[in-house]
């Protein structure tokens, strides 16, 4: 960051052809992959469908990708002659559902504890038990159909009450169908989440529970045949002891002496695994781990509440939290932990790129954040910081490019990208959207990945940011996991209860629309793990908000339960005020969950009325033009209804005038795919943005979409105009780190694995006419700070209810006679004591904001705004931008004059 602030050595690097690649598929958010893509990634289908970037784990880190597992499974089936699919569903203790049509079909359930079943001559052999199922004439019960709506039409068969279901779910299982003459028709495996939820849903303790003398370990594993815990001497030392656990109703537990604290352990789970059709002994971390060794090879048995893990005054941090009166006061700055300080020479070299960098109070990065905080910014959103797979925690294994040598290459050279690609699986950079374990900070960001450092330093980071006036948002990725199967170190949950935590299709294959290994929050214990994990971060790390990656792949009920659990936290009991913790996420509706096929999901439309925010692609696409997967040359800065409804909080009931003069609600105006433009019930439910980590940076977008000959000065004006539309919208503004200082990523949309070089927060565009100079960067930053100050100068820019917006916000340059390229938005407060409208602002009674996207000055008369005591906002009167100071208002005619590519704010001061 300091390179941008001082602008002493602006290094330029050309966008190469591969950096300009883009998918033609339409999408809501997100990006094309940087080329060439690393082997083993599978997020293109998800990204092209709707959404965002996604780096699932690389092949090197996760050799058992879903495809690899499928291939191994197929090989195993070929050798055994048994089934590899699972098309039948055991939905409750007594019901099995299968999509069979013949009413005379009879079904039998087969089980083998040692997984020795095989098919020969149309018959199943090697089973321990064979159970005839009774056909049911009724359809699926309502509660089952609600939970599994995609199998609503399946026929149901009853399991005899005499069957020991708890024992059977530990076996290799199959159902076979026979016709009325007893001839074999079909055979398939079973999906078990329904019956496991019905019989083993559990709300008691999980993980490690510490008392004065003992530690109790609890593991939910109802399909396991045996569970032991292996204790080790240190993060890489030898096995010390193996201890047997006992099972009660699907939960395995053991009590060990307190001296085990700070030892390392793994669970050894003996369980039938459908991916190999074998009973496997899986070594797995504790799903409720609160500490890990490097790369998660072992779980560290740690008491997260130990005083030795707390920074000074940690327990009093709630008293130091920056004030937050309303969620409508929030503004968010999205930041990658490594981007923040990897190149910051004002940070100790051993702390750069990690948690500790935020504790250097006089560093260039912290000085920059402090300026934003002083202007009104409230939240820093940190990209994933839990334990993910794609970066080695051991710094001694990292590889780096020689940046000094890359800087000497011609800006149009391909050699920089080739150098990055050659080490990108072994360098320290990745966004981190390939989760392994959710509940532990990432070791690569800590000074030491073993032991207490990651816990202490994460807490120090939150504390340091809070102390400069910024609350901390954690980016959580509950929609998918890095790996599955019984072997890889980055597979955890699927080792312990195979086939439960991951969502599968009707053939039994793992769904991959979210990248890979989609999780299934519709299952009770997945929902519980997500909520428990959120509480862990909220209580133990005092995190102030959560951003949900692909929130639409999570069930709405999970999000509602999460919100309720978090809101119940109190400072007296938990040391946290849960009412101040904000939730938001990506509400894209695609893949197997689209249109509520797996239950009511947390999509944009469904989340209306919940108070949970979702990213507003409507305002993004209106400002930028097109969408992230469309033609990159499609122009933005439109003045259409999409933008106006976005400025008005994206409310579904807000009424707008179309170009024909017709009045329409936001919900009656539609996007290209038929979705309503307005979908929120409250302004706190919309996250307004024009760029994010998985799109181009704002300056790159401007550079792509504007004419080649346009001067850098004009590009800077457009950059600021876009930011001002977000900053002055009703709703919650969201800014990508560096957009306020002309950051470029060489036009790379999907830079998740593009290394420090391409993600460095500094401009790198090839054409000299694109080259920002020091004065451009400082000017754009000054204007950004001004626009933040304007937002926080009046509560009228931060209305908290739909009724307030509907009552106070008006758009004036509308209908058939509108002047193209100009948006005029007024916000009215109570004018006097007799006014029925409540007074919100003690300083201003009227605010008028004009966005002039035209390349020329505009003079426009708005009769409804005549005879007011409007004047240019005092912050803009004193702005370093000479053009905005020329903005004027003529009261007698209601005439506003606004210079080219300028946002002008006029206020009526109270007497």
Q: Strand (E) positions, 792-879?
A: 809-811, 822-828, 844-852, 858-861, 871-872
Give the distance, in angstroms, between the CA of residue 488 and the centroid of all CA atoms in the same chain.
24
Buried b (16+ CB within 10 A) or exposed e, 164-190: ebbebbbbbbbbbbbeeeeeeeebbbb
44 pLDDT above the threshold of 70 = no
Residues near 108 by beta carbon (within 8 Å), at least 6 away in sequence: 130, 131, 132, 133, 175, 176, 178
pLDDT digits (tens, 9 = 90+) for 147-200: 999 999 999 999 999 999 999 999 999 999 999 888 889 999 999 999 999 999
Q: Identify whether residues 154 and 239 lie together within a single domain.
A: no
State the average pLDDT over residues 752-775.
61
Burial of 662 from C-beta contacts in 10 A (0-12 / 13-18 / 19+): exposed
Give me the DSSP letters along 686-720.
Answer: EEE-S--TTS--HHHHHHHHS-TT--HHHHHHHHH
Over residues 430-453, the mean pLDDT reads 97
Sign of the dihedral defined by the CA atoms of residues 854, 856, 857, 862, in that order: negative
For residue 837, which of 868, 862, 794, 806 has the smallest C-alpha distance? 806
Does one domain contain both 137 and 154? yes
- Residue 262 forms part of a structural domain: yes
Question: 11 falls in which pLDDT band (50, 70, 90)?
Answer: very low
pLDDT reading at 476 higher than 70: yes
Residue that is written with structure tokens 């009973």 in the block: 279
Calculate what percentage of the chain has a pLDDT beyond 70. 86
Catalytic residues: 549, 586
Residue 142, pLDDT above cutoff 50: yes
Residue 901 is part of a domain; what is its CATH number?
Answer: 2.60.40.1180
Q: Where are the alpha helices (DSSP H) in 500-655?
A: 524-540, 556-567, 571-574, 617-624, 641-647
Whether pLDDT at 886 is above 70 = yes
What pLDDT, on a 0 to 100 scale, did the predictor assign at position 755?
52
In the structure, what pLDDT confidence band is assigned to residue 604 with cuts at 50, 70 and 90? very high
Position 703 scores a pLDDT of 82
**Residue 453 predicted with pLDDT over 50:** yes
Query: pLDDT of 322-334, one tens digit each?
Result: 999 999 999 999 9
The total domain count for the chain is: 3
Q: What is the pLDDT of residues 587-598, one digit of tens each?
A: 999 999 999 999
Name the most confidently modeled range: 426-435, 752-761, 894-903: 894-903
Contacting residues for 395 by C-beta, under 8 A, at least 6 apart:
428, 444
Judge contact between 433 and 31, C-beta under 8 A.
no
- For residue range 848-872, what is the model confidence (pLDDT) as tens digits? 999 999 999 999 999 999 999 999 9
- What local confidence, expressed as pLDDT, does residue 636 receive? 53
> Is the pLDDT score of 759 beyond 80?
no
> Are 242 and 225 in a shared domain?
yes
As given in the structure block, the two tokens for residue 44 are: 């293109």
Query: How far apart (Å, rounded) are the C-alpha atoms in residues 638 and 625?
Result: 7
Exposed e or buried b for every residue in 823-854, given b needs 16+ CB within 10 A? Answer: bbbbbbbbeeeeeeeeebbeebbbbbbbbbbb
Judgement on whether residues 185 and 206 belong to the same structural domain of the protein: no
- b/e string for 72-86 if b means 16 or more Cβ within 10 A? bbeebbeebebbbbb
What is the pLDDT at residue 705?
A: 81
Same domain, 291 and 230: yes
Residue 647 has pLDDT above 90, yes or no: yes
Residue 522 domain-assigned?
no
The per-residue pLDDT for range 274-320, each reduced to its tens digit, is: 999 999 999 999 999 999 999 999 999 999 999 999 999 999 999 99
499 found inside a domain: no
* Interatomic CA distance for residues 304 and 322, integer angstroms: 25
Task: Determine the pLDDT at residue 503.
Answer: 98
Pick from 365, 390, 436: which is nearest to 355 by CA? 365
- Are 861 and 901 members of one domain? yes
Q: What is the mean pLDDT of residues 711-729?
A: 94
**How many Cβ atoms are within 10 Å of 273's Cβ, its own excluded?**
25
Residue 642's pLDDT is 73
CATH of the domain at 285: 2.60.40.10
Question: Per-residue pLDDT tens for 208-267?
Answer: 999 999 999 999 999 999 999 999 999 999 999 999 999 999 999 999 999 999 999 999
Tell me the chain's radius of gyration from C-alpha atoms: 29
Predicted local confidence at residue 700, as pLDDT: 85
In a domain, 406, yes or no: no
pTM: 0.90
234 and 152 housed in the same domain: no
**Looking at the domain assignment, is residue 560 inside a domain?**
no
Residue 178 domain-assigned (yes or no)? yes
Instruction: Examine the domain organization and report whether 191 and 204 are in the same domain.
Output: no
What is the predicted pLDDT for the residue at 732?
Answer: 98
Handedness of CA 284, 290, 296, 301 (dihedral sign): negative
Task: Please report the pLDDT score of residue 225 as a whole number.
Answer: 98
Element (H, E) at 656: strand 655-657
Residue 786 lies in a domain: no
Token readout for 522 is 């519709």
For residues 399-409, average pLDDT: 85
pLDDT band at 661 (very low <50, low <70, confident <90, very high): confident
CATH number of residue 151's parent domain: 2.60.40.1130
What is the pLDDT confidence band of residue 626, given thresholds at 50, 70 and 90? low
Average pLDDT, the chain: 87
For residue 481, the 8-state DSSP code is -
Is 614 in contact with 583 (CB distance < 8 Å)?
no
> Residues of the chain with pLDDT > 90: what percent?
74
Span 764-823, pLDDT tens digits? 445 666 678 999 999 999 999 999 999 999 999 999 999 999 999 999 999 898 999 999
Q: Provide mean pLDDT across the span 656-667.
A: 89
Residue 302 vs residues 299, 313, 503: alpha-carbon distances, Å: 9, 21, 31
CA distances from 699 to 631, 633, 719 (A): 17, 14, 6
The predicted structure's pLDDT at residue 27: 32
pLDDT of residue 655: 94
Domain match, 815 and 904 both: yes
Statement to judge: residues 296 and 256 lie in one domain: yes
Q: How many CA atoms lie within 13 A of 225 on its CB side?
A: 17
Q: Among 309, 327, 355, where does a domain finish? A: 309
Residue 26 binned pLDDT confidence (cut-offs 50, 70, 90): very low
- On whether both 95 and 189 belong to a single domain, the answer is yes
Domain C-terminal end among 195, 229, 252: 195
Residue 285 and residue 492 in contact, taking contact as beta carbons nearer than 8 Å: yes
> Mapping DSSP to helix (H, G, I), strand (E, B) and coil, where does residue 421 land?
helix
The DSSP annotation for 290-322 comes to S-B-GGGSSEE---TT-GGGS-TTGGGHHHHSP
CA 232/CA 265 separation, integer angstroms: 6
Q: Which domain holds residue 170?
A: 88-195
Is 303 among the domain residues? yes
CB-neighbour burial class of residue 142 (10 A; exposed 0-12, middle 13-18, buried 19+): exposed
pLDDT of residue 643: 83
Mean pLDDT of 69-95: 67
**Mean pLDDT, range 454-466, rounded to an integer:** 98
What span, in angstroms and rounded, lies between the C-alpha atoms of 106 and 701?
61
Phi-psi group of 692: left, alpha or beta (phi > 0 → left; psi -120 to 50 → alpha; rest → beta): beta
Final residue of a domain: which of 281, 309, 337?
Answer: 309
408 pLDDT tier (thresholds 50, 70, 90): confident
Q: Is residue 673's pLDDT more than 70?
A: yes
Same domain, 255 and 168: no
């Amino acid at each position: 960051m300091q390179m941008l602030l001082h602008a002493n050595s602006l290094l330029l690097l050309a966008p190469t052809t591969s950096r300009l690649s883009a998918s033609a598929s339409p999408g809501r958010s997100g990006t094309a992959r940087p080329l060439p893509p690393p082997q083993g990634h599978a997020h293109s289908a998800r990204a092209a469908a709707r959404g965002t970037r996604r780096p699932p784990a690389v092949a090197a880190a996760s050799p058992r990708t879903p495809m690899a597992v499928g291939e191994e499974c197929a090989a195993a089936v070929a050798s055994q002659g048994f089934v590899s699919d699972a098309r039948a569903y055991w939905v409750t203790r007594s019901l099995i559902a299968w999509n069979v049509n013949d009413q005379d079909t009879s079904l039998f359930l087969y089980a083998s504890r040692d997984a020795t079943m095989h098919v020969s001559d149309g018959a199943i052999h090697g089973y321990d038990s064979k159970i005839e199922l009774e056909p049911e004439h009724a359809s699926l019960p309502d509660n089952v159909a609600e939970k599994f709506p995609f199998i609503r039409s399946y026929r149901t068969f009853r399991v005899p009450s005499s069957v020991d279901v708890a024992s059977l779910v530990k076996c290799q299982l199959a159902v076979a169908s026979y016709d009325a003459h007893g001839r074999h028709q079909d055979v398939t495996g079973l999906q078990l989440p329904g019956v496991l939820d019905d019989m083993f849903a559990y709300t008691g303790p999980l993980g490690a529970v510490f008392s004065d003398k003992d530690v109790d370990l609890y593991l939910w594993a109802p399909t396991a045949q045996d569970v032991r815990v292996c204790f080790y001497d240190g993060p890489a030392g030898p096995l010390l002891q193996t201890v047997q656990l006992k099972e009660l109703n699907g939960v395995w537990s053991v009590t060990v002496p307190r001296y085990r604290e700070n030892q390392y352990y793994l669970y050894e789970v003996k369980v039938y695994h459908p991916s190999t059709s074998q009973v496997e002994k899986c070594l797995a971390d504790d799903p409720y781990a609160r500490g890990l060794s490097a790369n998660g090879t072992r779980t560290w048995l740690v008491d997260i509440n130990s005083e030795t893990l707390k920074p000074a005054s940690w327990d009093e941090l709630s008293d130091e939290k920056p004030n937050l009166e309303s969620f409508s006061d929030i503004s968010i700055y999205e930041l990658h932990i490594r981007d923040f300080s990897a190149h910051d020479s004002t940070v100790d070299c051993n702390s750069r790129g990690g948690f500790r960098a935020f504790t250097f109070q006089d560093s260039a990065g912290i000085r920059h954040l402090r300026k934003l905080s002083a202007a009104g910014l409230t939240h820093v959103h940190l990209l994933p910081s839990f334990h993910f797979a794609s970066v080695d925690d051991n710094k001694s294994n990292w590889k780096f490019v020689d940046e000094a040598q890359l800087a000497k290459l011609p800006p149009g050279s391909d050699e920089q990208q080739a150098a990055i690609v050659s080490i990108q699986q072994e360098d320290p950079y990745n966004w981190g959207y390939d989760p392994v374990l959710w509940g532990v900070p990432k070791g690569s960001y800590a000074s030491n990945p073993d032991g207490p450092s990651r816990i202490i330093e994460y807490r120090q980071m939150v504390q340091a940011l809070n102390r400069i006036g910024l609350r901390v948002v954690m980016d959580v990725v509950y929609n998918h996991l890095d790996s599955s199967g019984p072997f890889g170190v980055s597979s955890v949950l699927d080792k312990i209860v195979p086939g439960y935590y991951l969502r599968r299709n009707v053939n039994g294959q793992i769904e991959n629309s979210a990248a890979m290994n989609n999780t299934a929050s519709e299952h009770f214990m997945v929902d519980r793990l997500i909520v428990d994990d959120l509480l862990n971060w909220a209580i133990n790390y005092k995190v102030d908000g959560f951003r949900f990656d692909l929130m639409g792949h999570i069930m709405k009920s999970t999000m509602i339960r999460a919100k309720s659990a978090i809101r119940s936290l109190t400072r007296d009991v938990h040391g946290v005020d849960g009412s101040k913790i904000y939730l938001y996420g990506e509400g894209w509706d695609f893949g197997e969950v689209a249109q509520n096929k797996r239950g009511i999901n947390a999509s944009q439309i469904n989340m209306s009325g919940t108070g949970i925010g979702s990213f507003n692609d409507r305002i993004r696409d209106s400002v930028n033009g097109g969408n992230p997967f469309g033609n990159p040359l499609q122009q933005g800065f439109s003045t259409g209804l999409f933008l106006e409804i976005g400025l008005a909080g994206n409310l579904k009931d807000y009424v707008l005038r179309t170009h024909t003069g017709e009045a329409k609600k936001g919900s009656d105006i539609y996007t290209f795919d038929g979705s309503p433009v307005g979908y929120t019930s409250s302004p706190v439910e919309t996250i307004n943005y024009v760029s994010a980590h998985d799109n181009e940076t704002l300056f790159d977008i401007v550079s792509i979409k504007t004419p080649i000959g346009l001067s850098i000065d004009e590009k800077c004006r457009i950059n600021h105009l876009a930011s001002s539309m977000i900053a002055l919208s009703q709703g919650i503004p969201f800014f990508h780190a560096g957009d306020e200082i002309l950051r470029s990523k060489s036009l790379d949309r999907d830079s998740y694995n593009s290394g420090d070089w391409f993600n460095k927060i500094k401009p790198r565009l090839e054409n000299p006419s694109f080259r920002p100079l020091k004065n451009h960067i400082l000017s754009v930053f000054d204007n950004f700070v001004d626009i933040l100050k304007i937002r926080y100068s009046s509560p009228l820019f931060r209305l908290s209810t739909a009724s307030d917006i509907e009552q106070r916000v008006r758009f004036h340059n509308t209908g058939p006679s509108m002047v193209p390229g100009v948006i005029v938005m007024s916000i009215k407060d109570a004018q006097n004591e007799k006014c029925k409208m409540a007074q919100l602002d003690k300083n201003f009674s009227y605010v008028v904001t004009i966005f002039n996207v035209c390349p020329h000055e505009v003079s426009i008369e708005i009769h409804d705004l005549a005879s007011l005591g409007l004047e240019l906002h005092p912050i803009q009167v004193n702005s370093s931008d000479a053009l905005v100071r020329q903005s004027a208002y003529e009261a007698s005619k209601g005439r506003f004059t606004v210079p080219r590519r300028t946002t002008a704010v006029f206020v009526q001061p109270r007497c």
